[in-house]
A and B are shown apart, each in its own frame.
Chain A
Amino acid sequence: MIGGLHFGSAFTAAFLASLVEAVEALTIVLAVATVRGWRPAGLGAIGGLALLAAIVVALGPLLDYVPLHLLQLAIGVLLLLFGMRWLRKAILRAAGVVPLHDEAMAFASETAELREEERRYEAHLDWLAGLASFKAVLLEGLEVVFIVIAVSAGGGLLIPVSVAALAACLLVAAIGLAVHRPLARVPENTLKFAVGVMLSAFGMFWTGEGFGVVWPGADLAIVAFVALFLATGLAAVALLNRRKAAAVP
């Protein structure tokens, strides 16, 4: 039951986070394909995936040599930084303090930028376009790799969590290739809010374990931490909205 809870929350966090990252990478790859065709977009994306695979193969086995408490602590702190950064942004977007991320607008902006480069550097543009695709896949992919490693740390969940991340990426790639449009209807902020809550909860759990804290209920504590961060996030959105409403004359 408890192992299942850990598995379920790690699987869900990896799937949803990978969905968000894959949608963002797809937007850039599609923009490159629209301006310069599928060859540079595809080559750049394949290059990014190849480098990601090399990083995982090279660094993955090294993790076995790190003492478990040190690994839990390092990953816990990084997860706290990463998860709370996502949650902060999602709260501010949900409360209207900063604008929502718009995939259609990101696509238009990337396309305009590439067209401007096309005007200036016609001869090198395929190379530049491929590089944009490569960079998008590499950077968004690194986030996916980090999340997969982090949420499966110490739990022996690397393979199922990797499958969840891969399934999300393949799903987004398949839909993107089918519709040939950025996936603007994906509720990105809601996903980011949910993933921010889950990653922050995992981060607090692993940081505590790294310091030798024995959490009451063992893995079950993760569920309580999810509830705590969810309540904090929702309360923050409500407080910000109330303050905004009070400021309107």
Chain B
Amino acid sequence: MKALEALFRELAGLFVEDGALALAIAAIVALAGISAALAPDVPITTGAILLFGCPGVLLMNVMRAGRR
């Protein structure tokens, strides 16, 4: 059981290492999803959210990590 738990933890660790970054990415994707659902005729908005959001949250996250 413990080995299984450790395996699942390792598997989750493939995608989530820093919880704050994972949450920020999830928030950007959720925003893009809301935009796609509310304005499907203006996909440029969804694209822009991803285009500016993803590099933006990465930059903010590493700068914060550097401060720690």
The answer to whether the Cβ of B5 comes within 8 Å of any Cβ in the partner chain is: no
The answer to whether the Cβ of A41 comes within 8 Å of any Cβ in the partner chain is: no
The answer to whether the Cβ of B1 comes within 8 Å of any Cβ in the partner chain is: no
Q: Which residues of B contact A78 (CB under 8 A)?
A: 15
Q: Which residues of B contact A233 (CB under 8 A)?
A: 58
The answer to whether the Cβ of A10 comes within 8 Å of any Cβ in the partner chain is: no
- In the bound complex, do residue A211 and residue B14 qualify as a contact, i.e. CB atoms below 8 Å apart? no
**Given contacts A97-B66, A143-B14, A213-B46, A232 and B59 within 8 Å (CB-CB):** yes
Q: Which residues of A contact B61 (CB under 8 A)?
A: 88
Q: Which residues of A contact B40 (CB under 8 A)?
A: 212
In the assembled complex, the CB of A72 is this many whole angstroms from the nearest CB of chain B, namely 13
Q: Which residues of B contact A204 (CB under 8 A)?
A: 50-51, 54
Contact of A95 among B18, B29, B66 (CB under 8 A): B66
Most buried by B among A77, A78, A146: A77
- In the bound complex, do residue B62 and residue A91 qualify as a contact, i.e. CB atoms below 8 Å apart? yes
- In the bound complex, do residue A92 and residue B50 qualify as a contact, i.e. CB atoms below 8 Å apart? no
- In the bound complex, do residue B18 and residue A85 qualify as a contact, i.e. CB atoms below 8 Å apart? yes
Contact of A228 among B7, B15, B51, B66 (CB under 8 A): B51
The answer to whether the Cβ of A229 comes within 8 Å of any Cβ in the partner chain is: yes
Contact of B43 among A97, A142, A212 (CB under 8 A): A212
- In the bound complex, do residue A213 and residue B47 qualify as a contact, i.e. CB atoms below 8 Å apart? yes
In the assembled complex, the CB of B33 is this many whole angstroms from the nearest CB of chain A, namely 6
Q: Which residues of B contact A2 (CB under 8 A)?
A: none
The 5 closest A-B pairs by CB, nearest first: A211-B36, A232-B55, A81-B15, A213-B47, A240-B66
